[in-house]
């Protein structure tokens, strides 16, 4: 059983990472010899000496460290930006390749009106992703139906690959470019710990501004190469950081706000409904965007990690220097409210509290109470919550997330990892590493699926046995699971198409393999001894790995920055099947294709 030994890293693949979140960082120190979880590229002071591409950048000195200046946004007049029509000087005929000072003059200032426009812009991109009309940021930006700032002379030649850590920055920088606003960003951070993903007491140590680069295109490119999830851990008292924690209110949480899950994922809010439901988009290393419903799949984490909802600090340009607005002048700055657990359960009957995770004290406040509190706080008091609609949306969101997982698995199969020999050990931490595992495995994505199902189960299990909602939920479930979006196919090892339903996926929720070295049949949890599994050519060693990873598959909650040995998870599969709680019997699975003789 030596092949069950753990190892700390696999072979590196530059600029790649897990589709569960974002890309892997460049090797760095942070003092930073580290990688970025689920795909965030890490850069810190050690990388500052690397040469920039001279074809893209103007030679600029290192940005000095400046003390924040107190500024006021009272009675600011916003001039009409206008668009400089100097494309004749652009080698490609687009303002993206004009000199930055010509194409991106800082004529406007950040203020409430600009924030409203930014929210409208982000909401439009969200509608494109939600409708599956555009699945990449550059495609969304090239569609005038979703891009309120669309300009064919610019967007026709726009190509962007963004992951989740990049997405908030690139959206903000693109908007600043189009609206002639100043823009700067933290390029390097430092803190306590050897891994930029998980550092504590994070502070910025180097900055860039938009005019440091020769063209707007190179500005966007360098932003996506530099930023990573460590930027979202900057302590709020560090007033030269890019983000700050906000109070939970409809005024503060809006399209364009971000949510940082300190397990290594960043999402951008695109819609806040009247009933308090939040929808978000996130990016992946292949450049794709996905649409998410806010819920227990995304964690707040302890306060020391500074997860949660954040907004951008306004930036002020005086013609020579860029400064950031200090906390005292931020109306919605609040470094405490989101972590006040007493607020989570205020006016909530004890019988309606969620069950705390296994191993927690029975009277503990479950992390899921945070999500319920956010929903209640953001809900318009004149809008009644519709539990049946919520249930439908939860099921629909789960079906959509399974479809996104199918894309991730197909990417691994296309790369041929299932044909390779299994490495001699798993990564030190299966959720955040580098190389092929980070790019092609799905442990974080699979854990979020399980957390989503647990959330649905908890909402059903709280219903009294005689609740009139139970039969309505059953009707809603039968209708939702029959939809085309809740059916899936994959190509087995023999090339035949296998059809799965959402019931099949729920049956196999804890047996679908996150391991990219397994055959497609095991990636989709084909049961032992079935016709479906008979086409899998995996060796006895690979099958041994599959059996050995079961306890890790039984684990719902992710743990980053620590060892994840094979015996880390529970021995038994958690009971979170909401169908059983509803008294619903799943239909038999579709018949698998016969193996070729």
Count of C-beta atoms within a 10 Å radius of residue 225 = 18
Q: Is the pLDDT of residue 426 over 70?
A: yes
Q: How many residues does the chain have?
A: 597
Q: Is the pLDDT of residue 34 over 70?
A: no
* DSSP class of 431: T
pLDDT tens by residue, 44-92: 222 322 333 333 333 333 334 333 333 333 333 333 334 434 334 555 5
> Which sequence spans correspond to the domains of the chain?
28-50+112-354, 387-582
**If you average pLDDT over residues 395-413, what whole number do you get?**
93
The chain-wide mean pLDDT, for the chain, equals 84
**If you average pLDDT over residues 530-556, what whole number do you get?**
97
Percentage, residues of the chain above pLDDT 70: 83
**If you average pLDDT over residues 459-484, what whole number do you get?**
94
Which pLDDT score, from 0 to 100, does residue 93 have? 57
Q: Is the pLDDT of residue 40 over 90?
A: no
Q: Is 275 exposed, middle or buried (0-12, 13-18, 19+ CB in 10 A)?
A: middle
Residues 6+ apart with CB under 8 A from 38: 17, 18, 20, 21, 22, 164, 264, 265, 431, 432, 438, 444
**If you average pLDDT over residues 428-448, what whole number do you get?**
88
Of the segments 33-42, 505-514, 560-569, which one has the largest average pLDDT value?
A: 505-514
Q: Is the pLDDT of residue 317 over 70?
A: yes
SS3 state at 303? helix
Percentage, residues of the chain above pLDDT 90: 67
Q: Is the pLDDT of residue 7 over 60?
A: no
Which pLDDT score, from 0 to 100, does residue 68 have? 35
Q: Give me the helices (H) in 256-383, please.
A: 341-344, 368-378
**If you average pLDDT over residues 243-253, what whole number do you get?**
97
User: What tokens were used for 214?
Assistant: 């020769």
- If pLDDT is split at 50, 70 and 90, which confidence band does 18 have? very low
Which pLDDT score, from 0 to 100, does residue 352 have? 87
Which pLDDT score, from 0 to 100, does residue 592 have? 62
Contact 325, 71 (CB under 8 A): yes
Count of C-beta atoms within a 10 Å radius of residue 591 = 10
**If you average pLDDT over residues 110-116, what whole number do you get?**
97
Residue 175 to residues 22, 171, 196, 197, 325: CA-CA distances in angstroms?
A: 22, 6, 28, 27, 19
- 159 vs 497, higher pLDDT: 497
Contact 459, 469 (CB under 8 A): no
Range scoring the smallest mean pLDDT among 245-254, 283-292, 446-455, 577-586: 283-292
- If pLDDT is split at 50, 70 and 90, which confidence band does 359 have? confident
- 161 vs 427, higher pLDDT: 427
- 41 vs 337, higher pLDDT: 337
**If you average pLDDT over residues 120-142, what whole number do you get?**
94
Which pLDDT score, from 0 to 100, does residue 117 have? 98
pLDDT tens by residue, 192-247: 987 787 789 999 999 999 999 999 999 999 999 999 888 999 999 999 999 999 99
* DSSP class of 345: T
User: What tokens were used for 28?
Assistant: 């760095």
Which pLDDT score, from 0 to 100, does residue 85 have? 41
HEC assignment per residue over 66-88: CCCCCCCCCCCCCCCCCCCCCHH
Range scoring the smallest mean pLDDT among 261-265, 454-458, 513-517: 261-265
Strand partners, 6: 426
Count of C-beta atoms within a 10 Å radius of residue 66 = 12
C-alpha count within 13 angstroms, C-beta hemisphere, residue 82: 8
Q: Is the pLDDT of residue 262 over 50?
A: yes
Q: Is the pLDDT of residue 350 over 60?
A: yes
Which pLDDT score, from 0 to 100, does residue 591 have? 66
pLDDT tens by residue, 473-529: 999 999 999 999 999 999 999 999 999 999 999 999 999 999 999 999 999 999 999
């Amino acid at each position: 059983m030596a092949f069950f030994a753990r190892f700390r890293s696999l072979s590196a693949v530059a600029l790649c990472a897990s589709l569960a979140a974002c890309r892997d960082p460049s090797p760095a120190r942070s003092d930073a010899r580290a990688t970025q979880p689920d795909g965030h590229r890490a850069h810190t002071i050690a990388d500052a000496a690397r040469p920039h591409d001279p074809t893209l950048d103007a030679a600029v000195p290192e940005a000095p460290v400046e003390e924040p200046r107190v500024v006021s946004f009272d009675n600011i007049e916003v001039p009409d930006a206008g668009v400089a029509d100097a494309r004749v000087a652009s080698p490609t005929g687009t303002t993206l390749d004009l000199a930055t000072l010509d194409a991106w003059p800082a004529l406007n200032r950040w203020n409430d009106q600009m924030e409203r426009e930014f929210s409208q812009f982000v909401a439009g991109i969200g509608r494109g992703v939600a409708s599956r009309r555009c699945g990449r940021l550059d495609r969304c930006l090239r569609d005038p139906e979703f891009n309120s700032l669309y300009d064919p002379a610019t967007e026709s030649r726009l190509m962007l690959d963004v992951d989740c850590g990049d997405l908030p920055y690139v959206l903000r920088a693109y908007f600043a470019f189009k609206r002639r606003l100043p823009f700067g960003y933290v390029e390097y951070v430092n803190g306590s710990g050897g891994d930029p993903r998980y550092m504590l007491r994070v502070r910025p140590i180097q900055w860039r501004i938009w005019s440091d680069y020769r063209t707007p295109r190179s500005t966007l490119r360098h932003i996506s190469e530099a930023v990573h999830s460590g930027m979202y851990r900057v302590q709020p008292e560090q007033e030269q950081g890019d983000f700050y924690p906000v109070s939970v209110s409809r005024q503060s949480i809006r399209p364009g706000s971000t949510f940082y899950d300190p397990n290594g994922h960043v999402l951008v809010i695109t819609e806040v409904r009247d009933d308090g439901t939040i929808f978000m988009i996130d990016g992946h290393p292949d450049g794709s965007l996905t649409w998410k419903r806010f819920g227990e799949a995304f964690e707040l984490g302890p306060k020391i990690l500074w997860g949660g909802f954040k907004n951008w600090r306004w930036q002020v340009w005086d013609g020579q220097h860029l400064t950031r607005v200090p906390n005292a002048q931020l109306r919605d700055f609040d470094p405490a409210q989101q972590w006040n657990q007493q607020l989570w359960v205020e006016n909530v009957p004890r019988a309606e509290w969620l069950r705390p995770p296994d191993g927690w004290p029975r009277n503990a406040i479950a992390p899921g109470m945070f999500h319920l509190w956010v929903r209640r706080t953001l809900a318009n008091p004149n809008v009644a919550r519709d539990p049946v609609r919520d249930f439908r949306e939860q099921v629909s969101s789960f079906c959509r997330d399974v479809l996104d997982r199918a894309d991730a698995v197909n990417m691994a199969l296309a790369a041929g990892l299932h044909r390779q020999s299994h490495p001699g050990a798993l990564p030190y931490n299966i959720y955040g590493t580098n190389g092929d595992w980070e790019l092609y495995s799905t442990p974080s994505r699979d854990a979020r699926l399980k957390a989503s199902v647990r959330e649905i189960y908890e909402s059903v299990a709280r219903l009294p046995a005689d609740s009139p909602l139970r039969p309505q939920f059953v009707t809603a479930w039968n209708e939702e699971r029959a939809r085309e979006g809740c059916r899936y196919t994959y190509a087995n090892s023999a090339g035949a198409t296998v059809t799965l339903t959402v019931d099949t996926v729920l049956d196999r929720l804890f047996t679908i393999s996150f391991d990219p070295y397994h055959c497609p049949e095991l990636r989709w949890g084909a049961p032992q001894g079935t016709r479906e599994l008979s086409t899998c050519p995996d060796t006895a060693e690979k099958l041994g790995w599959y059996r050995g990873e079961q306890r890790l598959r039984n684990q719902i909650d992710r743990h980053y920055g620590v060892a994840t040995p094979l015996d880390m998870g529970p021995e038994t599969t958690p009971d979170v099947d909401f169908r059983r709680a509803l008294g619903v019997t799943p239909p038999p699975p579709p018949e698998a294709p016969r193996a070729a003789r």
